[in-house]
Amino acid sequence: MPLSRRQLLAAGTTAAALGGFSPLRAQANTIRIGVLTDMSGPYRDSTGPGSVVCTQQAVQEFGNKGFQVEVLQADHQNKPDVGANLARQWYDQGVDAIIDVPTSSVALAITQIAKEKNKVFLNSGAAVTELTGAHCNPNFVHWTYDTYMLSKGLAGALTKAGGNTWYFVTADYAFGHALQRDATRFVEEAGGKVLGAARYPFPSTTDFSSFLLQAQASRAKVLGLANASGDTVNCIKQGREFGLNKSMRFAALLMGLVDVHALGLETGQGLLLTESFYWGLNDRTRAFGKRVQPKMPNRAMPAMVHAGCYGVTLHYLKAVADMGVAAAKASGTDVVARMKAMPTDDDAFGQGRIREDGRKLHPSFLFEVKSPAESKEPWDYYKLVATTPAEEAFRPLSEGGCPLVRS
């Protein structure tokens, strides 16, 4: 019964998503951007409709430079097969670039399709570093963050601050494994030791107390949470319930603004987390935040992945305008090459560039969650602890093993 229910769900919503748009005619003067994201699952709030809003915001701010831009959206339900089908169909029907795509397994499937069809894939929501490593290709840009950036910022800093023994609670799929692997590296580099890990079934786990007690019994000083969104929130909530916070420091390796919002400052205060964007970081990010907030679902402030969709769309459109629509539509590889050649600049991430392997470079920030008393206005959740400069925040080019990089 459970199987048939899931299949029913998948079949039903795919049909709805596919039936939703009429066959697209490839119009010569229109750039089509498809936001493929999680509209109905656990990552909906940190990606989803907010990613669509921020993509549209970029299109609107870019203005009319002699060509039309059309933004489409669809739900990949965090399933590689559903996502791959939608991507194929979109590319075949004249979509020039697919944007966002959270959930690493789906992103890995789509990056190959983009290359095969010589289109553009601009990722904001997924985390695995393989996208710019072994699986890199000339049609792909990885904008916002990755597991290396997350781990380096947090795991290294915590280990050096005395948290030298770790126990991981890990989501048992590509993303969780990658995050644990990268974090382990930085823990060990900083002289720390990993005492063990519990891998729990994803996405069907809601009670984490068993894994948390195993972590507690390991007597490690740091609880590394190699998971995301609702799972992370539940782990922290339940960890406090079982008193883990008395003997361990929590390190949520991927935790964002919406998770802190879900947790509440009362429970979340004092947590450390790594992000590449926070709306309250500086005047430009604040201005960007205030511009899009009224359009966001539930008037939330944009989170890191949302901002990434904004930044990457703006840069993509600049490259298209620079080389001309006809040339841009003809070859995805050429557009991405142009994007890499042009320096980036937007309100959310400031100035930066895209490396040969498709990795966008910008600083990463270590934040501490404020206490309820320190928070002055809604969504005022973070204070800045440390900044890692752009050139150090991401994996060195030589270590990724990307075939595009010639040594």
Partner 1 sequence: MDEIFGIPAPLLFGQLLLGLINGAFYAMLSLGLAVIFGLLNIINFAHGAQFMMGAFAAWMLLEWAGLGYWWALLLAPIIVGFTGVVMERLMISRLYKLDHLYGLLLTFGLALIIEGIFRNEFGSSGMPYRIPPELAGAWDLGFMFLPVYRGWVVIAALILCLATWLLIEKTRLGAYLRAATENAALVQAFGVNVPRMVTLTYGAGVALAAIGGVLAAPIYSVNPQMGTNLIIVVFAVVVIGGMGSILGSIVTGFGLGIVEGLTKVFWPEASATVIFVIMAIVLLARPAGLFGRA
Q: Which of 9, 287, 341, 384 binds partner 1 (CB under 8 A)?
A: 9
Q: Is 294 in the site for partner 1 (CB under 8 A)?
A: no
Q: Which residue has the tokens 């992945």?
A: 305
Selected binder of partner 1 within 22, 64, 206, 407 (CB under 8 A): 206
Q: Does the protein bind partner 1 through residue 266 (CB under 8 A)?
A: yes
- Residue 95's SS3 state is coil
Q: Give the N- to C-terminal CA distance of the chain in Å, as an integer.
A: 53
Q: Quick one: 278 or 349, whose CB is closer to partner 1?
A: 278
Give the one residue of 10, 27, 30, 42 binding partner 1; rule: CB under 8 A.
42
Residues in the chain: 407
Specify the amino acid at residue 389: P
Distance CA 145, CA 254 (A): 10
C-beta of residue 80 within 8 angstroms of C-beta of residue 111? no
**Contact criterion met (CB below 8 Å) for 99 and 51:** yes
Nearest to partner 1 of 6, 65 (CB atom): 6
Question: Which is nearer to partner 1, 32 or 44 (by Cβ)?
Answer: 44
Binding region for partner 1 (CB under 8 A) out of 8-16, 111-119, 144-152, 155-163: 8-16
The answer to whether residue 179 forms part of the interface with partner 1 (CB under 8 A) is no
Nearer to partner 1, 147 or 216 (CB): 216
Q: Does 242 help bind partner 1 (rule: CB under 8 A)? A: yes
351, 284 Cβ separation under 8 angstroms: no
Q: Is 20 in the site for partner 1 (CB under 8 A)?
A: no
C-alpha 86/C-alpha 83 separation (Å) is: 5
Query: Residue from 233, 254, 255, 320 that binds partner 1 (CB under 8 A)?
Result: 233
Token pair listed for 18: 């596919």
- For 201-283, strand residue ranges (E) read 222-226, 249-252, 272-275
- For residues 326-385, which are near partner 1 according to CB under 8 A? none
CA 280 to chain centre: 19
181 binds partner 1 (CB under 8 A): no
Number of other residues whose CB lies within 10 A of the CB of residue 223: 26
Q: By CB under 8 A, tell whether 100 contacts partner 1.
A: no
Cβ nearer to partner 1, comparing 64 with 204: 204
Listing DSSP states for 268-309 in one string gives HTT-EEEES--TTSSHHHHHHHHHHGGGSGGGPPP-HHHHHH
Per CB under 8 A, does 200 bind partner 1? yes
Kindly state whether residue 229 participates in binding partner 1, applying the rule CB under 8 A.
yes
Instruction: Tell me whether residue 207 or residue 391 sits nearer to partner 1 (CB atom).
Output: 207
Q: Which stretch binds partner 1 (CB under 8 A): 51-59, 272-280, 295-303, 389-397?
A: 295-303
- Phi and psi dihedrals of 62, rounded to 5? -65, -35
Segment contacting partner 1 by CB under 8 A, of 66-74, 92-100, 293-301, 370-378 = 293-301
- The alpha-helical segments, DSSP class H, found in 25-79 are 48-62
CA 211, CA 231: separation in Å to the nearest integer? 12
Decide if residue 75 touches partner 1 (CB under 8 A).
no
User: Which chain residues interact with partner 1 by CB under 8 A?
Assistant: 1-2, 5, 8-9, 12, 40-46, 48, 172, 198-201, 203-207, 209-211, 213-214, 216-217, 229-230, 233-234, 237-238, 241-243, 258-259, 261-264, 266-267, 297-298, 300
